[in-house]
Structure 1
Amino acid sequence: MRRLFAGVGALLLATVAAVFAFGPSAHAAAGFTVSGGKLYDANGNEFIMRGVNHAHTWYPQQTSSFANVKALGANTVRVVLSSGDRWTRNSAADVTNVIQLCKTNRLICVLEVHDTTGYGEQSGAITLDRAVDYWLSIASALNGQEAYVIVNIGNEPYGNQNYTSWTTDTANAIRRLRTGGIQHTIMVDAPNWGQDWAFTMRDTAPTVFNADPARNTVFSVHMYGVFDTAAEISDYLGRFRSRGLPIVVGEFGHNHSDGNPDEETILSYTQANGIGWLGWSWSGNSGGVEYLDMATNFNPNQLTSWGQRLFNGTNGIRQTAREATVFGSTPPPTSPPPTTTPSPTTAPPTTTPPPAGGGCTATYAITGQWQGGFQGDVRVTAGSAAISGWTVRWTFANGQTVSQSWGTNLTSSGATVTARNVDYNGRLGAGASTSFGFIGSWTGTNPVPAVTCTAS
């Protein structure tokens, strides 16, 4: 993404997924590998991206951003670079410095060339072949960094015109990179401004994957207005999972000029299914999409509501990110939350007694509290039998109110709160869990209420 995406409507096509057999992943020089639709780090441990995009090429002076997003819990940063065709070229020396910033802050680097954005529709956009020229020209910065760097060939490498060439062009770009000695895991973006509404990437992904002699390619879809329902999100990502193909959500937001993406489903579905994601974007957006900034003016102490949601909310970065084991041990984030969201108050969660048979339990926890406000998280767990829906209730004792919620249909009647499942998280297998969150207000004291859970 740069300024705006072209407006596109969701197009649903009925397709029958074919079954493909994929060869084993190659073990590049101590680098990331792909196997069975999952990404593994150089130690052979599964790695799930939980991070953000950072517009380095437009804001090269904002080098503190790497430390700031790490302090907020991220394990990956996708870095915007330029080949020099549309913006100032990032030299091999600059890319070396970016990689070092990632490594110093124990972040995995996904490096992408942005000049390909909207090729065929956007004036000045370059081909994937031209992007490969750039990667090969800075190979000196990449070689030996396979354990820390993933090469994202080109950002959104087709608009909504002539995008049927995506399959051939992407396969050829991968072959050229391999022939040129690039051994890293390769990431490829979808056409249609990254949103693949025509399903070109979805339907031809096996062909592209098999074009990589290393079988070490990851697919990336960008989820904005096209992905505004739970069904669209789960169907798209689920088709990759069912074929054993690695997929990540390389960009997504909470709103967009082309429609309102369903970020709650993106976060809950990816968490439930071990799929990586990278939110757009840390800071510096313009052209009418400033609301996609996670931090105001790159200041980690001034997170926007989008930043608060992505870093501190249910299924967000703090809750789900795990550091790549190539950095050694995996300690939890040590930096306190920004001053706008003081450190969480320690409060023991309350849990309903476990049911003897089926049914469900619910656990209520305060995950962050500040003067006059707090964030709550409720985890629902099925009993010894599967359930098709759930309802959680509690009664506030001291005048607390809920102003915002996600992952639930929540209503209040006086002090009593009723939270019901939404369409994508009601069905739980025996012992399975889901969670939802909310923002509330309080005065005086904020005790944790008793909660009940009823299954249907």
Structure 2
Amino acid sequence: MAAFAAATAAMTTLAVTPAHAAAGFTVSGSQILDANGNAFVMRGVNHAHTWYPDKLSSLADIKALGANTVRVVLSSGDRWTRNDASDVTGVIDRCKANRLICVLEVHDTTGYGEDSAATTLDRAVDYWISIRSALAGQERYVILDIGNEPYGNTATAGWITDTENAITRLRAAGFEHSIMVDAPNWGQDWSFTMRDNAASVFATDPRRNTIFSIHMYGVFDTAAEITDYLGRFRAAGLPIVIGEFGYNHSDGDPDEDTIMATAQAQGIGYLGWSWSGNGGGVEYLDLITDFDATRLTPWGERLFHGPDGIRATSREATVYGTPPSSPPGRTCTATYAITGQWTGGFQGAVTVQAGTAPISAWTVAWTWPDGQRFTNSWNAAVTTSGGSVTARSLSYNASLPAGGSTSWGFTAAWTGANTAPAPTCTAS
């Protein structure tokens, strides 16, 4: 991978009010808005569906760990087995069932111009048009990433025209979705081709509804490179997301702490690569081991549980409304207990018990009374917002028979007082 070059040009600031009302996601300046007009910040992961079509159940585990978005790998059939309209419908339905926003991408374009097996963005558009029946009417839940890393490091200037033509063709074919475009240079844009031409590319979209995606691996190994790149999109009023990133890579050591902290501070979405199933020497990028959500890798622990991680910062898209309440007859209770305490810290356990009917999932919530804060948790997908705590069941402990129980645990910090909260439990 070539070294990260010095910045050579500034973006042109562009007014980016959507040109038309949309049925789904839109952009307004650097913000992404959901179909209800509320700001939406992606917090999620990539899932290699096209290579592991039998692992769609992973979406439930991804949601249980707190994600609000999943970027799904598809194939146009040019390089791998084609995902047809029926299959894509199944993916979208599973995303919606798990209240996830679904970013769909064609992976066959990866490294075009440098990898002889890669196909063009034009072929990717052919694919999207061919499966439009699966996508029409799903604008509230689906974002289209035209093609993954659509240029390698060769002749990257071609990315500009090819991307503009792809956007134009999709709009002419009637697609109203938010469109995402990946950068060249294997997604890392060290040539600044996307950065310096983003305003003109955005202007080719008659709906003004294009989102730019940068992939951050070894090129982005210093805080200065990360903050400068993302900051230029913010200053230009253009929407940017981190469509892929890792905590290590063959081309260098990304600064994942700065990537996540900057994304959180600036309201920028991020999607970690990737859930499970990596090969070819980058197995360390697996977030979980062998598709087992109970076996988080070091990278998975960092992304889901670490500072500025998914559990602490993810917020569900408002298109899914408020979380459902317990159906009639399905109830649960939550019992909170401190199991050990020391100066400045303590360990706790929460027991969830089903009522007189079986339950298929549970959610426990409370507000800390004395400013306590989690340092770790297990056997539940925990998210926090200030003093508010929400803990959701995982795939392996969600279903309980009538009267059955399970427990999850945590460690936390406290100062001054450590009054127990009053948890509530909601079942489905």
Both structures adopt the same fold (TM-score exceeding 0.5): yes
| 1:124 Cα deviation after fit | 1.4
| 1:18 Cα deviation after fit | 3.0
Which of 6, 10, 24 does residue 16 from structure 1 map onto? 10
| 1:253 Cα deviation after fit | 0.1
Quick one: which amino acid aligns to residue 33 of structure 1?
T
Deviation per residue, 1:236-280 (Å, 9 max, x gap): 000000010000000000000000000000000000000001000
With 50-59 and 309-318 compared, the bigger mean Cα shift is at 309-318
What are the residue-to-residue correspondences of 1:17-416 with 2, within 5 Å? 17-28=11-22, 30-330=23-323, 365-368=373-376
Deviation per residue, 1:57-109 (Å, 9 max, x gap): 00000011100100000000000000000000000000000000000000000
User: Quick one: distance in 1 between partners of 2:19 and 2:242?
Assistant: 21
CA 1:448–1:207: 2 relative to 1, 3 Å: closer
> Residues 374 and 412 of structure 2 are in contact (CA less than 8 Å); yes or no, is this contact kept in structure 1?
no
CA 1:173–1:369: 2 relative to 1, 3 Å: closer
Quick one: which amino acid aligns to residue 12 of structure 1?
A
- SS of the aligned residue for 1:187 comes to strand
Quick one: which amino acid aligns to residue 48 of structure 2?
A
| 1:24 Cα deviation after fit | 3.2
CA 1:450–1:84: 2 relative to 1, 3 Å: same
User: Quick one: distance in 1 between partners of 2:338 and 2:132?
Assistant: 44
**Number of residues of Structure 1 aligned to a counterpart in Structure 2:** 353
- SS of the aligned residue for 2:277 comes to coil
Quick one: which amino acid aligns to residue 169 of structure 1?
D
Quick one: which amino acid aligns to residue 19 of structure 1?
T
| 1:344 Cα deviation after fit | 11
> Residues 344 and 369 of structure 1 are in contact (CA less than 8 Å); yes or no, is this contact kept in structure 2?
no
- SS of the aligned residue for 1:163 comes to coil
Deviation per residue, 1:148-171 (Å, 9 max, x gap): 000000000000001111111101
Quick one: which amino acid aligns to residue 367 of structure 1?
T
| 1:330 Cα deviation after fit | 5.0
> Residues 81 and 113 of structure 1 are in contact (CA less than 8 Å); yes or no, is this contact kept in structure 2?
yes
Aligned to 1:438: none
User: Quick one: distance in 2 between partners of 1:344 and 1:120?
Assistant: 59
User: Quick one: distance in 2 between partners of 1:344 and 1:211?
Assistant: 58
User: Quick one: distance in 1 between partners of 2:339 and 2:224?
Assistant: 36
> Residues 344 and 366 of structure 1 are in contact (CA less than 8 Å); yes or no, is this contact kept in structure 2?
no
> Residues 110 and 150 of structure 1 are in contact (CA less than 8 Å); yes or no, is this contact kept in structure 2?
yes
User: What's the Cα RMSD here?
Assistant: 2.7
Q: Structure 2: which 5+ runs fail to align? A: 326-336, 346-370, 379-383, 387-410, 417-428
Quick one: which amino acid aligns to residue 37 of structure 1?
S
> Residues 344 and 367 of structure 1 are in contact (CA less than 8 Å); yes or no, is this contact kept in structure 2?
no
With 279-288 and 35-44 compared, the bigger mean Cα shift is at 35-44
- SS of the aligned residue for 2:296 comes to coil
Quick one: which amino acid aligns to residue 32 of structure 1?
F
> Residues 163 and 192 of structure 1 are in contact (CA less than 8 Å); yes or no, is this contact kept in structure 2?
yes
Aligned to 1:374: none
CA 1:38–1:288: 2 relative to 1, 3 Å: same
CA 1:290–1:27: 2 relative to 1, 3 Å: same
> Residues 33 and 216 of structure 1 are in contact (CA less than 8 Å); yes or no, is this contact kept in structure 2?
yes
Quick one: which amino acid aligns to residue 48 of structure 1?
V
User: Quick one: distance in 1 between partners of 2:140 and 2:374?
Assistant: 37
> Residues 79 and 111 of structure 1 are in contact (CA less than 8 Å); yes or no, is this contact kept in structure 2?
yes
Report the TM-score, using the length of structure 1 for normalisation: 0.73
> Residues 350 and 364 of structure 1 are in contact (CA less than 8 Å); yes or no, is this contact kept in structure 2?
no
Percent of aligned pairs sharing the same letter:
65
Report the TM-score, using the length of structure 2 for normalisation: 0.78
User: Quick one: distance in 2 between partners of 1:448 and 1:238?
Assistant: 34
Deviation per residue, 1:35-73 (Å, 9 max, x gap): 112111111111000000000000000011100100000
> Residues 348 and 365 of structure 1 are in contact (CA less than 8 Å); yes or no, is this contact kept in structure 2?
no
CA 1:8–1:93: 2 relative to 1, 3 Å: same
| 1:201 Cα deviation after fit | 0.2
CA 1:60–1:349: 2 relative to 1, 3 Å: farther
Quick one: which amino acid aligns to residue 9 of structure 1?
A
Q: Structure 1: which 5+ runs fail to align? A: 1-6, 333-342, 352-362, 371-376, 380-445, 452-456
